[in-house]
Amino acid sequence: MLTDLFSPSVQYTLDIAGIFVFAISGALLAVRKNFDVFGMAVLAEVTALGGGLFRDVMIGDVPPTAFTDLGYFLTPLFATVLVFFLHPEVERITRAVNVFDAAGLGLFCVTGTTKAHDYGLGLTASAALGLATAVGGGVLRDVLAHEVPSLLRWDRDLYAVPAMVGSIMAAVLLRFDSLNGLTSGFAVATAFVLRLLAMHFGWRAPRAWHRRSAAVEEV
């Protein structure tokens, strides 16, 4: 089913593009944390490949693609080199990087859901793994950098919710045997646009109802 959505060459190109942008975000966080080049490479690899590795292990697709295709492994290293030498310039185009990151989020939540379903998982589990594919690398990145994961922080723009919407849309389309190149593209675009709107308008998930705690979020 996954190969029916996009041609193999298109799928591969989209995967590499998403991996590259996710890796950029990991390497930039390492720079802000004053990590050395090895730490930058680790955060870049984890951010770019962590979600897909988790999904592949869970569904039994081993060894994961990240270890069988050199392009998947080398792309984050290329991003690390780029950030190592040009991080001031990359920081200046953070908004553009965030736009591509949103596109990767939309793509990975849909392809992750589809791949999990291809391996026999139910629709709910497939959607959950689609979400994990999209946001798992970012969670691992933040944990390794001693940060509260962004998707758990109330003061961050919605990130997991757009991916969740895209995953659920893919699962519903699978349920009605309606997932194809056009409808999957619509699911990807929906997650992408929701993430862009969240960044533009500062949308955040609500906190506990009638919350009385005076605690504030750590910076």
Label residue 217 exposed, middle or buried (CB < 10 Å: 0-12, 13-18, 19+): exposed
Question: Given this model, what pLDDT does residue 216 score?
Answer: 56
Mean pLDDT across the chain = 89
Query: What pTM, to 2 d.p., does this model score?
Result: 0.88
Neighbouring residues of 102: CB distance < 8 A, sequence distance ≥ 6: 162, 191, 192, 195, 196, 199
> What would the pLDDT profile of 72-121 be if each residue is shown by its tens digit?
999 999 999 999 999 888 878 788 888 888 988 999 999 999 999 999 99
Cα separation, 105 vs 131, in Å, equals: 9
User: 73-89 b/e with 16+ CB inside 10 Å = b?
Assistant: bebbbebbebbbeebee
> What would the pLDDT profile of 124-171 be if each residue is shown by its tens digit?
999 999 999 999 999 999 999 999 888 888 878 899 999 999 999 999
